[in-house]
């Protein structure tokens, strides 16, 4: 049975009453103003699990994973675990055949706890600690992405068997995204820059790896940034990276068989946002890689990509309860969460929408700003939203597209416990990560 066939049984009206393109595909509005999420009423979930709460649609996560694997059947699709690293989520993507991109011993520990296959795990990061490297070696992580000459030396000393490695290259391609989440250009901390010419930077890294008997150089890695909408940027990066692969072959006689182009694929947070054209991305990559490899006589490398936000972002929403409404020259709606559960607006000006759920309102819409409970003027979740004029204390607000980097970036600012993560599928809700309690906060404080 299709989702559209299920909607009447859920008491839902047409899904087009929701802001287009930003809500999970399983969501729809009921006749009483209720929001149905993966077959469950959001107000019921809020009553059961409290607010604020992160909700994640398991079927949506799995569908996104399958969409990527279907679009790129010959490539390795690795979930960027930093977007949302929990046991359940990693289990879902593992069952869908994805690999895993990690960047710390902690993320490896979560993967290890569910038996995620080590041969399908990568470790990267600009400043891996000895603990990170040891965790990867101990679990048998197949590939480690090297980011500095110091790291090459450290890993070479720690590895007792031939460890497969990739070198991260900064290709000099902008992702046209916020400066705080741009990683593919000169002047940021990741990778080996090409700005002074390939021989000045990459060659030192390649030579250093080749002198380490415990390291086996198998490929190159790059990453342009996060929330990238333009597929032509990935095409440019692919062309540049094949040029570098050919340079390594011609200079060192080593043909590297793997190319990791990273992730950062954009999702829509607002109806006006541009989405990511996955089909166009695949077409342009195939043409670019085919042409560049053919013209340079280089065999097509095995491609790896690392979507994270694109897999889990659209599958999540966050539910808040209104604590206060202040009307004046500007109307503020204060909720029981804020920057501790969604740091993205304060970190880099991310924009969100929100809507009243749980009841229907015929009141006129007025511009309002949704703010958090923290002692910061910058604790703003969504600005200038058209919300019902009768909004009051106790109402529920839902914010879409919160599956990525909300749970991961959550903090205890003002000593507020982090929200629970609730998985929902076919109307059944399961607590995946419980709410943090005051006892949890005190447990680490030894007095």
Please tell me the distance from the alpha carbon of residue 224 to that of residue 418, in angstroms, as a whole number: 30
190 C-beta neighbours (distance < 10 Å), count = 24
Q: What angle do CA 156, 158, 163 make, to 5 degrees?
A: 60
Report the C-alpha gap between 378 and 234 in whole angstroms.
Answer: 34
- Residue 168, SS3 per DSSP: strand
The DSSP element (H or E) to which 432 belongs, if any, is: strand 428-433
What is the CB-side half-sphere exposure of residue 58 using CA atoms within 13 A?
A: 24
Verify whether residue 103 is a known catalytic residue.
no
Return the closest-CA partner of residue 26 out of 428, 441, 375.
428
Q: Taking each helix axis from N to C terminus, what angle separates 87-95 and 105-113, rounded to the nearest 10 degrees?
A: 70
Percent helix, strand, coil in the chain (nearest 5)?
35, 25, 40
Say how many C-beta atoms besides its own lie within 10 A of residue 179's C-beta: 10
Contact indicator for 169, 205 with CB cutoff of 8 Å: no
Residue 374: strand, helix, or coil: coil
Of the residues 85, 103, 293, 375, only one is catalytic, namely: 375
Q: How many helices (H) and strands (E) does the chain have?
A: 13, 21
Active site residues: 375
């Amino acid at each position: 049975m299709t989702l559209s066939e299920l909607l009447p049984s859920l008491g839902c009206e047409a899904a087009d009453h929701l802001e287009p393109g930003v809500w999970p595909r399983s969501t729809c509005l009921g006749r009483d103003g209720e929001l149905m999420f993966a077959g469950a009423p959001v107000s019921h979930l809020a009553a059961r699990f409290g607010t604020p709460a992160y909700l994640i649609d398991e079927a949506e996560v799995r569908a996104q994973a399958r969409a990527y694997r279907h679009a790129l059947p010959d490539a390795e699709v690795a979930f960027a675990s930093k977007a949302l690293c929990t046991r359940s989520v990693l289990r879902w993507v593992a069952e869908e055949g994805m690999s895993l991109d990690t960047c710390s011993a902690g993320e490896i520990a979560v993967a290890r706890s569910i038996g995620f296959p080590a041969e399908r795990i990568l470790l990267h990061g600009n400043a891996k600690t000895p603990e990170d490297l040891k965790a990867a070696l101990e679990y048998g992580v197949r590939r480690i992405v090297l980011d500095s000459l110091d790291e090459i030396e450290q890993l070479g000393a720690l590895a007792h068997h031939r460890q497969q490695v990739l070198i991260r290259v900064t290709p000099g391609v902008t992702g046209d995204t916020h400066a705080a989440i741009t990683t593919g250009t000169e002047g940021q901390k990741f990778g080996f820059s090409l700005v002074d010419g390939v021989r000045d930077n990459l060659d030192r890294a390649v030579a250093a790896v080749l002198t380490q008997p415990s390291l086996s150089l198998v490929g190159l890695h790059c990453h342009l940034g996060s929330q990238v909408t333009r597929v032509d940027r990935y095409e440019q990066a692919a062309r540049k990276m094949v040029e570098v692969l050919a340079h390594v072959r011609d200079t060192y006689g080593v043909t590297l068989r793997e190319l990791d182009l990273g992730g950062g694929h954009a999702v829509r947070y607002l109806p006006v946002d541009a989405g990511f054209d996955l089909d166009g991305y695949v077409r342009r990559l195939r043409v670019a890689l085919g042409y560049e490899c053919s013209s340079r006589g280089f065999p097509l490398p095995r491609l790896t990509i690392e979507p994270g936000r694109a897999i889990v972002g659209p599958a999540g929403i966050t539910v808040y309860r209104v604590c206060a409404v202040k009307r004046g020259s500007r109307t503020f709606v204060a909720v029981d969460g804020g920057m501790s559960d969604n740091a993205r607006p304060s970190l880099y000006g991310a924009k969100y929408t929100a809507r009243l759920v749980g009841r229907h309102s015929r009141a006129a819409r007025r511009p309002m700003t949704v703010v958090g409970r923290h002692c910061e003027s910058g604790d703003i979740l969504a600005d200038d939203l058209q919300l019902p004029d009768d909004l009051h204390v106790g109402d529920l607000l839902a914010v879409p597209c919160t599956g990525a980097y909300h749970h991961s970036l959550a903090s205890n600012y003002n000593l507020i416990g982090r929200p629970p993560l609730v998985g929902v599928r076919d109307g059944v809700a399961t607590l995946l990560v419980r709410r943090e309690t005051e006892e949890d906060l005190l447990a680490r404080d030894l007095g």
